[in-house]
Amino acid sequence: MTPRPANANTPVVTALDPETVGQLIASLGAIDLVPILHTFGDDLGRLAKEHEAAVAAGDAEGARRAAHALAGTGAGIGAKRLESAARLAMVPGTQDRASQAAAIRAETDAALIEIATLARDLAAKG
C-alpha cells in the first residue's frame, strides 16, 4: 500500500515519511528545501560509506558512530526505515555487521532516490 501524502501538495513517498516531508515543505517552502535535500543526500551517502568501511575494517566503534550519525540524519529527513536500521546497528550483538551494513545501504539507497526525485520535483515547481 502506497502511503498517502500529508496533503494534496505533498508528493507520495515510501522511503521518506510523507508527514515529515509535508512538514518540511510547509515550514521551509519548496524552493528553500531543495538545497537542504541535496545536503541530506550528500550526508547520507557519505555516512553510509563510512559505516560500510568501518564494518569492513572490523571497527565496531566506528560502525556504531556512523550508524548513530545515519540514524540522526535519517530521522531529520523522515527516512524512518533507515533510522530504524541504523539504530539496530548501534546495538551490539543484534545481528552480524555485514547484514546490518547491507540493510543500511539498501535503506540509504532508497532514501537517496526519493531525496533526488523530491528535490527535482520541487525545483521544477519552483
| Residue range 87-126, pLDDT digits in tens | 999 988 766 888 899 999 999 999 999 999 999 999 998 7
pLDDT classification of 26: cutoffs 50, 70, 90: very high
pTM: 0.85
d(CA 48, CA 102): 10
The C-alpha cell at 112 is 537517496
d(CA 37, CA 122): 10
Percent of the chain with pLDDT over 90: 79
The C-alpha cell at 9 is 501538495
Q: Average pLDDT of the chain?
A: 89
**Contact (CB, 8 A) for 44 and 112:** yes
For the segment 54-81, the average pLDDT, to the nearest whole number, is 95
d(CA 26, CA 47): 27
Considering just the CA atoms, what is the radius of gyration of the chain in Å? 15
Count of residues in the chain:
126
pLDDT classification of 11: cutoffs 50, 70, 90: low
